[in-house]
Amino acid sequence: MSFCIAIDGPAAAGKGTVSRAVAEEFGFAHLDTGLLYRATGAKTFEGLSPIEAAKTLTAEDLARADLRTADAGQAASRVAAIPEVREALIDFQRAFARRTGGAVLDGRDIGTVICPDAEVKLYITATDDIRAKRRFDELTAGGAETTFDHVLADLRERDARDSARAAAPLKPAEDAKIIDTSDMTIDAAVAQVVAFIKAQRA
């Protein structure tokens, strides 16, 4: 039996951390769909067109060491605005969503485009400053040299591009539960999401 949980939201809102915890809680498979776009964007650094990169994506590409860099994030946002790239990656995501045993997918258009029939839809968000601080701490902990102001500007640029694109813009599904994690610990956010999902499954 399949059960799909769609979790959307902007960068650094906590959706990835929440999604992994939810998948572990319920024993579901987890797919960070942003990795598909990060890997596609990273492959363009090697001279491939975005569409070629998407069509030739492999499991090995999702294990690249450079997928969490700021450059990969910006490249992901650029290639994600290309309808042909999104189309090339849709079937993979939908098949994953309906695998036996349940699945959690997180991204930016899961509840609106990839899995509009998901049993549970969530939209995880937080204020710009909070998200930028989280991303700044993550990047600097990994050894990157950057500033908070640069990270904040980068985040806002990406948000604007993701929200304004014609193909699957970033927005909550009409029937998604919106959770603002700005003033929450990760444990509190996970507990709220888990309680909501259990109520939906009851």
- pLDDT tens sequence across 22-44: 999 999 999 999 899 999 999 99
Residue 17 annotated as binding site: yes
Q: Determine how many CB atoms are found less than 10 A away from the CB of residue 48.
A: 15
**Does 201 map to a domain?**
no
**Does 105 map to a domain?**
yes
CA 173 to CA 45: how far, in whole Å? 33
User: Which of these, 78, 74, 30, 31, lies nearest to 54 by C-alpha position?
Assistant: 78
Residue 121 annotated as binding site: no
CA 159 to CA 165: how far, in whole Å? 10
Q: Tokens for 137, please give them.
A: 């701490």
Residue 153 annotated as binding site: no
Q: In the prediction, which pLDDT does 69 show? A: 87
Q: Residue 173 is part of a domain; what is its CATH number?
A: 3.40.50.300
**Does 81 map to a domain?**
yes
As a residue count, the chain comes to 202
Residue 16 annotated as binding site: yes
Residue 103 annotated as binding site: no
Residue 169 annotated as binding site: no
Residue 12 annotated as binding site: yes
What would the pLDDT profile of 39-93 be if each residue is shown by its tens digit?
999 999 999 999 999 999 987 898 899 998 888 988 998 998 899 999 999 988 9
Q: Report the number of distinct structural domains present in the chain.
A: 1
**Does 9 map to a domain?**
yes
**Does 202 map to a domain?**
no
Residue 107 annotated as binding site: no
**Does 56 map to a domain?**
yes
**Does 40 map to a domain?**
yes
Structural domain range at position 109: 4-195
Residue 14 annotated as binding site: yes
**Does 110 map to a domain?**
yes
CA 186 to CA 45: how far, in whole Å? 34
